[in-house]
Amino acid sequence: MVDVQLRVNGTIETLDLRPRVSLLDALREHLGLTGTKKGCDQGACGACTVLVDGERINSCLTLAVQYTGRSITTIEGVAGGGEPHPLQTAFIRNDGFQCGYCTSGQICSAIGMLAEHAAGAPSAVTEHLASRAELTDVEIRERMSGNLCRCGAYNGIADAIGEVAAAAAVQEVTETGAVRRGSAAGAARQATTAEAAR
Amino acid sequence: MKDFAYVRAGDVTTALRAIAAEPGAAFIGGGTNLVDLMRQDIERPGTVIDITTLPLDEIEETADGGVRVGALVRNSHLAAHPLIRTRYPVLSQAILTGASAQLRNMATVGGNLLQRTRCLYFYDGAAACNKRRPGSGCDALEGFNRNHAILGASDACVATHPSDMCVALAALDATVEVESVRGTRRIPLVDFHRLPGDTPDVETAIAADELVTAVELPASPIAVNSRYRKVRDRASYAFALVSVAAALEVRDGTVAGVRLALGGVAAKPWRAREAERILLDAPATEESFRRAAAAELASATGLSQNAFKIELARRAIVATLSRLLTDGSAA
């Protein structure tokens, strides 16, 4: 058994685990945070996506012990100040799910994706690697391809994310005065603020 | 998953001593392949040595204008790095077509090099697989072999190496730095992975006690004009049927330089030397590209379900070089 200390949604959690326990199982079975889902348990579906220090990962393909001292955000921790995260609201408004099993992973993944885009990261469909890509529907779908939805709610999922990205772009224009269409820095900032507030 | 002992290495020397002392131990980085293989009981290390906090996560420009990439740099960070996006666009593109964003955030450069085949029979403990259990046979030969090799395979094994990153590294003349308690050595990327022959269980040129510490990219003016093309069964998040990494330099309508490597076709990233030889000093035309592609694939052999990949590889080579000729790189 090994001591593992995780900061989960702002709370320090100390666990005594077998080294083979995945971060996903630590969250679900040992901390009772069942919002993060186990789909394939082999990195093929994205249902287990969580944020580690703001970056999205598949929690199924990890050993929890490797993440000792790191800051984990699960779906239970994305809302802030009693309000749902803008992506949660947008998923409801746009029918971004049917059964809902992939939704926690989709939302955590989208938060990470918007932060990556805001930081200027390219994707496989980015035409010019050196410049920041506009967050078009094609870009959103490529960047979210690690999250499968067996109900096929992709149109609603992509619309929900596009809506939040567009709102964030408007917010960024208002804040900085610079016209950067398709930017999602605002959404990323909002997510970070929600986490920091906890 | 079988239980194992867990050790976190604080520095490289400690990690190397730990693995030298216990031959059955395994290093763990991002874990995206190893954890999966351990869960399937294919890898059964008695001790897992965590190397994720070793100081091998830098991307630095070298004195001769190349780039040195630490083995623990995450795939996503390498793809997004300005030096890679502008000077080696084929490498950024190759990485970005591999796996998913979540996996690229976890996976390390060293782990990408050492990832194992995705052959279904390698993963299936009940199947015959010479790679997993030497001498047991190969169920892929007459089974589901759509994703399998058309070049350099043997009767013992027809598995492919699944990496996209390595295909770009092969085209870019990258070198792998490995370290053990016995010292440091460098292995050209094209010699790092082995063809199966009679021993498909021996996959790379590194010893069990060696640690990949870095990948070095030489200065490469030609790499500025480079592209990666991946052909697969779905638009994203799938392994390659065929992929092409290419760099092209054209002067006065003639090919002044070319680098070409193929993925999804062999047990290693396939550097297309024959095609390069034919293209050098030839007119930069689609006709030349076709001739070079045909020559490179002349020795290719199809299995029951993958013979289509021979023509697919030819067309992917021609399409990638033609795109470089007309549009340049994606930098």
| Domains of chain B with bracketed CATH | 5-53 (3.30.43.10), 225-327 (3.30.390.50)
Q: Which two tokens stand for residue B212?
A: 């990949």
List chain A residues with CB under 8 Å of B39: 41-42
> The domain A86-196: what is its CATH number?
1.10.150.120
The pLDDT of residue B11 is above 90: yes
Amino acid at B147: N
CB of B89 within 8 Å of a chain A CB? The answer is: yes
Inter-chain CB pairs, A–B, below 8 Å: 115
Q: At CB < 8 A and 24+ separation, what contacts does B24-28 make? A: B25/B49, B27/B51, B27/B211, B28/A63, B28/A66, B28/B52
* Beta strands in A33-91, from DSSP E residues, in sequence order: 49-52, 55-58, 71-73
A 151-190 near B (Cβ less than 8 A): none
Mean pLDDT, rounded, of chain B = 98
Q: What percent of chain A has pLDDT over 70?
A: 88
DSSP one-letter code for A41:
S
Neighbouring C-beta atoms of residue B21, cutoff 10 Å: 11
CB B101 to CB A146 under 8 A?
A: yes
Q: Does residue B44 belong to the interface with chain A, where contact is any CB pair within 8 Å?
A: no
How many angstroms separate the CA atoms of A49 and A38, rounded? 9
Nearest C-alpha of chain A: how many angstroms from B36?
Answer: 6
Within an 8 Å CB–CB cutoff, is residue B39 touching chain A?
yes
Q: Which pLDDT band, with edges at 50, 70 and 90, does A188 fall under?
A: very low
Q: Is B50 on the interface with A (CB under 8 A)?
A: yes
- Whether A57 sits inside 8 A of B39 (CB atoms) is no
Q: What is the 3-state secondary structure (H, E, C) of chain B?
A: CCCCEEEECCCHHHHHHHHHHCCCCEEECCCCCHHHHHHCCCCCCCEEEECCCCCCCCEEECCCCCEEEECCCEHHHHHHCHHHHHHCHHHHHHHHCCCCHHHHHHCEHHHHHHCCCCCHHHHCCCCCECCCCCCCCECCCCCCCCCCCCCCCCCCCCCCCCCCHHHHHHHCCCEEEEEECCEEEEEEHHHHECCCCCCCCCCECCCCCCEEEEEEECCCHHHHCEEEEEECCCCCCCCCCEEEEEEEEEECCEEEEEEEEEECCCCCCEECHHHHHHHCCCECCHHHHHHHHHHHCCCCCCCCCCCHHHHHHHHHHHHHHHHHHHHCCCC
The single residue listed with the structure tokens 């287990």 is A48
Q: Could you give phi then psi for residue B153, rounded to 5 degrees?
A: -85, 175
Q: Does B331 touch chain A (CB under 8 A)?
A: yes
Query: B281: which strand partners?
Result: none
Percent of chain B with pLDDT over 70: 100
The first and second tokens of residue B16, run together, are: 């190397």
Inspect the interface and report whether the beta carbons of B102 and A49 lie closer than 8 Å: yes
Confidence class of residue B193 from pLDDT cuts 50, 70 and 90?
very high
User: Can you state the angle between helices A103-118 and A185-196, rounded to 10 degrees?
Assistant: 120
What length is written for chain A? 198
Residues in A 115-154 with any Cβ partner in B closer than 8 A? 116, 119-124, 126-130, 141-147
A28: Cβ contacts below 8 Å, ≥ 6 apart: A34, A36, A38
**Residue B171 pLDDT > 50:** yes
pLDDT digits 0-9 by tens, A148-172: 999 999 999 999 999 999 998 887 7
Q: What is the pLDDT of residues B260-308, one digit of tens each?
A: 999 999 999 999 999 999 999 999 999 999 999 999 999 999 999 999 9
| One CATH from 3.30.70.1230, 3.10.20.30, 3.50.50.60, 3.40.50.9100 for A2-77 | 3.10.20.30
Contact A65 B50 (CB under 8 A): yes
pLDDT computed for residue A138 by the predictor: 98
Residues of A in contact with B99 (CB under 8 A): 43, 146
- Interface predicted TM-score (ipTM): 0.96
Query: A66 pLDDT band (50/70/90 cuts)?
Result: very high
Closest CA to A130 of B171, B330, B260: B330
Q: Say yes or no: A73 contacts chain B, CB-CB below 8 A.
A: no
Tell me if residue A170 falls in helix, strand or coil: helix
Q: Does B103 touch chain A (CB under 8 A)?
A: yes
A2, A37, A56, A161: best to mutate for the B interface, most B CBs within 10 A: A56
> CB contact, 8 Å: A49 with chain B?
yes
Question: What is the identity of the amino acid at A24?
Answer: L
Q: Taking CA A57 as the corner, what is the angle to CA A53 and CA A60, rounded to the nearest 5 degrees?
A: 125
Contact criterion met (CB < 8 Å) for A61 and B35: yes
* Count of other CB atoms within 10 angstroms of residue A5: 12
Chain A: closest CA distance from residue B182 (Å): 28
Per domain, the residue ranges of chain A are 2-77, 86-196
Q: Do domains A2-77 and A86-196 have the same CATH topology?
A: no
pLDDT, position A81: 85
Q: Give the closest of B79, B86, B330 to A127, CB-based.
A: B330
For residue B32, report the phi and psi dihedrals to the nearest 5 degrees: -65, -25
Query: Who's near B267: CB < 8 A, 6+ residues apart?
Result: B117, B149, B152, B153, B157, B159, B160, B161, B193, B194, B195, B196, B200, B203
Residues of chain A in contact with residue B330, where contact means CB-CB under 8 angstroms, are 126-129
* Backbone phi and psi for residue B184, each to the nearest 5 degrees, phi listed first: -115, 140
Q: Which residues of B touch A47 (CB under 8 A)?
A: none
Q: Which residue of B has its CA nearest to A49?
A: B102
For residue B248, the cross-strand partners are B258
pLDDT score at A177: 57
Average pLDDT of chain A is: 90
Cα distance between residue A189 and residue A168, in whole Å: 9
Tell me how far apart the alpha carbons of residues B305 and B270 are, in angstroms, rounded to a whole number: 20
Interchain CB distance below 8 Å, B236 and A124: yes
C-alpha to C-alpha distance for B204 and B216, rounded to whole angstroms: 18
**Chain A residues whose beta carbon lies within 8 Å of the beta carbon of residue B92:** 122, 129
